[in-house]
Amino acid sequence: MNINMNINNKKFFKVFIFSSIILFFVSLILSGCAPLEPNSIHRLKVQIRKLNKRTAKLSQNETYLDKKLHQMQLNTANNGVEISSLNAKIRDIYGRYEVESHNLNILQKRFREYRLMVNKELIKLLKLAKVQPVLPKKISAKTAVVKKENLMEYGFKKALSLYNKKDFPNAAAAFRKFLNKYPQSNFTADAMFYKASANFNLKKYPVSILEFHKFSQLYPKNPNVPMAIYLQGVGFLKVSDPSDASILFRQVISKYPDTKAAGLSKQALSRLLK
C-alpha cells in the first residue's frame, strides 16, 4: 500500500511540475503579447510562490517516501531470511518426527509380542494352578507334626525377616525355597504374596504380575489380595500397559473400597486420567 502511495505521489509531482512550467511559459507569452495589469502580475507571483512551496513540500515527501520504501525493502529481505530459517527448522522437526514415529511403531510391535508371551505363560500357570497338589503323608507321631510345624514357621519367618530388611534378592530365594518345601501350609498364601512383592521390588514386573495373579486366584479371601491386585496394576504400568492397569485399579476400588489398596488405586487412577 505504501509503495502504491509512493508511485502515485511521484506521478502527481511530475504532473504538477509540468503544469507549473506550462503556466510559466503562458505567463511569459501573455506578458510579451500584451502588457499585464499590476494586479494580474501580483496574482501570478503569488500563485508561483504557492507552487514553489508545494513543489518543495512534494520534494520532501518524495524523499521521505523513498526512505520508507528502502526500509520496507530491508524488512522484506529480513523476513525472507527468517522464513527460510523457519522452513529449515520445520523440515528438521518433521524429519525427527518421522524417525521417532518409526521407532515408536517398532516398540509397539515388540510390546505386543511381549504381551502375547506373558499371556501364554499366564495361561500355563493357571492350568498348573488347577492341578491339586499332592498332600504330604500324615504323620502319626504328634511330636513329628509339631516339629514340622515349627520348621515351617521358622522357614517362613526367616524369609519374612529378609523381606522386612529389604534384602529382596535373598527374600525371594527364601520364599521360593519355602514354597517348594511346603506347598501346603498355613503360611503358603502369605509366602506367595511376599515372594511376588520381592520380585516386584526387584523390578521383575512380568514375573511379579504372574505371581500376584496366581496368588489372587488361589487365595481370593486372603487379606493381601487387594494389595496384590493393586501392585499387579502398577506392574502393568511399568511395562507401559495403562489399559490393563486401569482395569485392575478400578477392580480394587469397586471390590475392596475400604482398604489401603483402594486409596492407592484411586491416586494411581487419577494420575492416569490427567
Say what percent of the chain tops pLDDT 70.
Answer: 76
* 182 plus 266 within the same structural domain: yes
Query: What's the whole-number mean pLDDT along residues 262-268?
Result: 95
What is the phi/psi pair of residue 131, to 5°?
A: -80, 125
* 238 plus 148 within the same structural domain: yes
The set of cell numbers assigned to 92 is 528438521
| pLDDT at position 101 | 72
Whether 112 shows a pLDDT value over 80: the answer reads: no
The set of cell numbers assigned to 139 is 504323620
Higher pLDDT, 263 or 13: 263
Query: What's the whole-number mean pLDDT along residues 192-203?
Result: 97
Instruction: Assign residue 256 the CATH number of its domain.
Output: 1.25.40.10
Range of the domain at 149: 137-273
At 83, is the pLDDT very low, low, confident or very high (cuts 50, 70, 90)? confident
The set of cell numbers assigned to 204 is 521383575
Among candidate residues 99, 126, 146, the one where a domain is terminated: 99
| pLDDT at position 141 | 45
Among candidate residues 99, 123, 158, the one where a domain is terminated: 99
Whether 34 shows a pLDDT value over 90: the answer reads: no
* 266 plus 196 within the same structural domain: yes
| pLDDT at position 171 | 95
Whether 119 shows a pLDDT value over 60: the answer reads: yes
Query: What's the whole-number mean pLDDT along residues 117-142?
Result: 61
Structural domains of the chain, count: 2
Give the Cα separation of 184 and 166 in Å (integer).
26
Residue 110 placed within a domain = no
Residue 106 placed within a domain = no
